[in-house]
Amino acid sequence: MRFSMILEMVDRLTAPAKRARDQIRGITRNAGSMSQRFRSMAREVRRGERSVESFERATRRMLTVRMGRYFQSVGSRVRRLTRDLSALVRRLRLVERAGGLAARGLRRMGGMALDALKWGGAAVTLLL
């Protein structure tokens, strides 16, 4: 009887251990597969780096040839943009000023309307 209990206990303990071992094997296979994928990705990245470096060299050559004309063009565009922005700022200041004057006029008209209502109400009260 004791021997059967020992065997039963061994069976109960070995089943989870077997499942754990099988899971570890699956994880190990997945890790190996991921490792291969990473190596492949690293090769692709290196290939891309070489392409980018080649593009950078070609771009540098092209820029050194066209640098003068490019900067002249950019300079004139920047000057034009600066003029346009300055004009816009002046116009916005005028609009701001006009808005302030309009607000002040509306406040004044509102005050006058309230005064008229107040005095008109007082006059109606006196007449009644």
Q: What is the percent of the chain with per-residue pLDDT over 70, rounded to a whole number?
A: 95
The overall average pLDDT reported for the chain is 81
CB 70 within 8 A of CB 63: yes
Q: Which residue has the tokens 């066209």?
A: 66
Work out the pLDDT band at 54, boundaries 50, 70, 90.
Answer: confident
Work out the pLDDT band at 128, boundaries 50, 70, 90.
Answer: low
DSSP letter at 128 equals -
Work out the pLDDT band at 118, boundaries 50, 70, 90.
Answer: confident
Tell me how far the alpha carbon of residue 106 is from its chain's centroid: 42
The pLDDT tens digits for 57-102 are: 888 887 777 777 777 788 889 889 998 999 999 898 888 888 888 8
Average pLDDT score over residue span 41-59? 87
pTM value > 0.95:
no
Work out the pLDDT band at 1, boundaries 50, 70, 90.
Answer: low
Report d(CA 124, CA 90) in Å as an integer. Answer: 50
Whether residue 26 is predicted with pLDDT greater than 70 in this model: the reply is yes
